[in-house]
Every structure is written in structure tokens, then in C-alpha cells.
Chain A
Amino acid sequence: MALVLGCKMLFRRGGTAAFISAVALLIAIPASTNSIYNSISYQTQVIGELVNLGRTYLILSADSRALTDSQVERILASRFVGLGSIDYVLPQRVLVADLATGSGSYTAYIRGVEDVGSFLKTRRAYLNGAIAKGWAEANIGEILARALSIGLQDEVDLAVGDRQVRVKVVGVYRSQTQSDAELLVPIETANILAANNHTVSLIELSLKEGVDSHEALSQITKLLPENVKLVQPQQLREFTQQMNTQTLVFLNVWSLAVYAAVAAASHIAVMKLITESSYELAMLRALGARKHHIYTTVLAYTMATALLGSILGIALGTAGAQVVSTILRWIHRGIELSPFMEPRQALQIVFLALASSVLGCLYPAFKTARVRYVEQPL
């Protein structure tokens, strides 16, 4: 009863509307920035879903940071061959080798695959010459061929450590991928150089078109041992998520200063209120109100006004952002922004506003509660 009376008394003071307005205007800032962020994030997500994501996946060793560091059991590939959702399975060995030609010695990437023709087909490569078939044949990417002045029928010596192989270049291809800077050989050739038949650097899988990717990935994941990882080369979702997170952080940096300003506004409003209500507070103490009653009354008043202010601020901020985006759309037709506020975000803003206000009013409330009713603060 005393709390209700005390709050009524404080609410009747003229400064209540100004305090609610002050909080509302400050809270409108994070509310409008969050609503604009939601719109941008939603559009980014929609655009991301329109892009045809690739169906290729790589199996690499779990601790590898690069292809040449990865070692995966070659026999793992056979587990996926029978799956109906898989279009192709391509185990590959990637090596760094010394490549010697007539003009000098260079370092180059060698990629060994089980079927060179299938590999070039997956890359949609143009080929001049023939597909490398035997272990003594190779196809060369156009970029590497141009860099080292290697042409058709040229012989090159490949060396990894003390193991050497001589191959003849039977075809030059262009695939518009990193393979254009590689020498492509049958996997037997790569195994000779690596002195290892049992492992490969990666296994490349592709899903069939129209297949439910979640279901297919679930099937694949069940077949994987723990020491490997499944990676999708086209990482559009991760990229857009990070872009959104960066935007959110950018907007939220200001929120820190906003909530500090809310705490300061609360402090000022309560100080002013206490100064102007000193007579009424003194009367309450004279009538038997204890220190904690005064303290609680001031806190309750602050929380109630901050709650009203933050709700008003969220409405103002969201509506304001919508009005501005509508005006921008009239001026610049290309702009499509539809700000909106999520309930979770609104609750978060209200909570932070309440917390900041309470923090700001603690000291004046505590100080007032301690003053004896005959004293006046000077």
C-alpha cells in the first residue's frame, strides 16, 4: 500500500513524461538499427537461397589445413560408390613435386586421379590433345603450360624426394580451376611418387541433381570415420552469416553508449525527482515509512517509467525506420528495405533498458533512503 501510494505520488510529478520521452528517444536508436539490420539480414538470406549451391563435397583429414597435408584412406571411397544419391566419387592425390623440363627445374602441383577423363569432365574442361591414360602420360593445365613453356609431346621429369618419374604431356586443358596450374596424371603415377598406395589427399563427392542434400549428407556422414571431415567448397551460407554478424556488431557498438546514456538519463531524472519531491518523501518518512520503503518506491518508479519508455522507444524506432525506408524507396527506386523487429530482440532491448535505468537510479535512491526527514540535501 505504501509502495503504491509512493509511486502515485512520484508519478504525479511533472518530470515523469520527460523521463519517459528521454528513455524512449534513446531506445529508439537501437530499435531502429536492429530493425534495419533484420531487413538487410533477411534479404541477404533470400538472395543466398536463390544462388544455386554446388553439390560437391570434399573428404579431408580432420586436422589438415591444406590439400597436401591431408591423408585419407583410399578404401573409404568404396563406401560411397553404391549410394543412390551420389553422382561421382573421385579419390585424388595432390603432391608438390620438382618438375624438370628442358628449360629448367620448377616446383609444381601434381594431381593424381583414378580416371583423368572423368575428372576433366567434372571440371567441364576443354582439352587439346589426348587424355592421359598410362602412368607415363600426363595432361597439363594451360596456366602451368604457359608459365613453363611446356607443349604437347614434351617430356618432363617429376621428382618427389628420391623418387622420379618421366612423363609425356599428351594433352593441354583449360578448366578455369586450380587444375589449370597443375599437372594431371593417373593416380598410379602419383602413387609412385608418393610411395604410397593406401592413402589419398582427398575424396571428392558430388550429389545427383534433385537429391535432398540434407538426407544425402546424413547418409554420408554416418559412413565417415572420426579422423576425417566433410567440407563443402562453396561456402555461401558461412559468408553471408559472417557479413550479417559484422553488420550487427557494427550497429551494436553504438548500443553500449546508448545504454550508458539511458543510465545517465535515469540518474538525472531520479535526482531531479527527489529534489522536487523532498517534501513528500519527508512526509512519508514522518508517517512511518522506512528506508527500504523509500528505496523500493524510487526503484519501482524508475522501472515503471523505463519500461514505458523502452516500449515507446521500440515502437518509435521501428516505425521511424519504416517511414524512412519508405521515403528512401520513393526517392531511390532500387532501395528495398522493410525494417521489422523480432520479439526476442524487443525483449532484449527492454531488459537492457530496465537494467541500465536501475543502475542509474541506485545511487540517488540509496542516498535518499538514508536522509533523515528533518535534513535537506545541500
Chain B
Amino acid sequence: MANLPAGSVLVIGIGNAYRSDDAVGLVVVRRLKEQTQGSVQILEHGGEGADLMESWRDARAVILVDAAHSGARPGTIHRIDCRHQPLPHSMFGDSTHAFGVAEAVELSRVLGRLPPRLVMFGIEGESYKLGTELSPAVRLAMSQVVDTVLEEINK
């Protein structure tokens, strides 16, 4: 995102609004947008990797929120500090993109283009079938997810 005010945090919600729990990243950042009232940069994104790299190009601090698929209980919140550990494709490979968020983070690392601070919150999803509703377990976890991301923003 160009022209970011110095020190501000960019929060990117990643997902597909028509793929059930894949939409969780989008739903979270919409809630955050209401609660932060312009103090934080919010971006909704479809998850295409090359474009993601472009969107955080000039950002100092970036928080990603996406659906995750690791076998954990639906609604589980995974926090990954991307500066210090790789983002596994197996966990975030449920995107419809062959070059998705995990590839964007790892390619940025190789090219020396990782933002100074980059944290991923993965929300364990249950269903990725065609549909516009979150599954109950993910919906239940929503408030906690929003609070957790808010804490991260204020760190």
C-alpha cells in the first residue's frame, strides 16, 4: 500500500466470500474496520500472491488474517510470526490460488522484501464448500479472533 503513514499497521484480510469459512479473513477485517475507525489500514484481498506482495510493498508492519487448514479444531487461532518462521503451504494452501499467501511470504523472504514486521493469524476453518455462511465453530470464535488481532495491532 503506497503512502502509508509512518508507524501505522496494515491489516490484510484474505479470503473468498463465496467459499464458506474461506471468508473468515474478510469478515474479521470488516469487524476491525468498525472498531478501529481509521487508525489502522485495512485491506480485503482475494489471496493472489503476487498482488499481495505488491500490497504490502511499503508497509512497516503487516498483519494477515486468513483461513487455515491444519487439522486443528475449527475456530482455533494460529499465530505465526513470519519474520521468524516459514508459512507452511499445507496450512494455507486452501486458497484457490496456486501462488497464494504462503508463496508470497516465502518469495518475499528470498527476494529480501519481507516487511519488517509480518504476523499471520490463521483461523482454522471447517468447510470450504460453495456458500456465504461461516460454519458455527468459526462464527463462535469470531470475537476472540478480533480481540486477538486488536492486541497484536496495539503491541
Task: Answer yes or no: do A and B interact.
Answer: no
